[in-house]
Amino acid sequence: MLRSMQDSWLRTKADEIQGYADKHDTKNFYNALRTVYGPQFSGSSHLLSADGSALLTGKKEILNRWADYFKKVLDRPEAINDIAIERLPKPPSINSSIPPSIEEVKKAIQQSVSGKAPGQDAIPAEVYKSGGAALQEQLTCLYQIMWREGQLPQEFKDATIVHIYKRKGNRQSCYNHRGIFLLSIA
């Protein structure tokens, strides 16, 4: 009886997953897959050293390797051609003397994408969307203060870098991972 219940559940789940695949609904597709197979292990695995000769196993060694890798990737000399920038079409200018209005804040909140990873503050976009008028007013007030002072708080500037395996090549090599920045959604 247990076997038939399991088979029935799996058949239903397979039909559900196929339906999501047919509709190109990737979010629900992967959520349904996770229901069947469970979450994937995403812990940090061993890494190869910069020269590829040694396997790093200690947590501190691995973190230092990632730091060195991303420093090398991100700290590159500027290769911007000023002449090419001058040829780019100029967007219409916005009057920068007017601070953001509550309508602009509401529009920005509505346009924010749900289901994305939050930054260090761990506040997802869904919280801002469901926060209502009180939250919108507080955010508007905060943005107007930042506008007048001409500075962002350090928490808005700080980003968490997360590495994602590209699914090709040696998983233990930093070069086969893509880094993404998680910023505060606010």
pLDDT in tens, 122-161: 899 999 999 999 999 999 999 999 999 989 999 999 999 9
Is residue 91 domain-shared with residue 151, that is, in the same domain?
Answer: yes
Residue 94 clears pLDDT 80, i.e. is over it: no
Domain containing residue 112: 47-182
Structure-token match 């209005």, residue found: 101
Domain co-membership, 20 together with 65: no
E-strand spans in the chain? 47-48, 55-56, 160-165, 177-182
How many CA atoms does the CB half-sphere of 181 hold within 13 Å? 9
Q: Percent of the chain having pLDDT more than 90?
A: 55
Looking at the structure, tell me whether residues 30 and 107 fall in a common domain: no
Q: How far apart are CA 105 and CA 126, in angstroms?
A: 15
Question: What's this model's pTM, rounded to 2 decimal places?
Answer: 0.62
DSSP reduced 3-state for 62: helix
- Are 26 and 87 members of one domain? no
Please tell me the predicted confidence (pLDDT) of residue 44: 60
Residues 150 and 91 in one domain: yes
In a domain, 42, yes or no: no
Rounded Cα distance, 56 and 62, in Å? 6
Q: How far is CA 77 from the centre of its chain?
A: 25
* pLDDT number for residue 43: 58
What per-residue confidence (pLDDT) applies to 93? 72
Q: Of 37, 36, 38, 39, which Cα lies nearest the Cα of 10?
A: 36
Domain total for the chain? 2
Closest CA to 173 of 64, 43, 46, 47: 47
80 with 162, same domain: the answer is: yes
Residue 42 banded pLDDT, cuts 50, 70, 90: low
86 and 106 inside one domain = yes
Task: Say how many C-beta atoms besides its own lie within 10 A of residue 29's C-beta.
Answer: 18
What's at 112, amino acid-wise? S
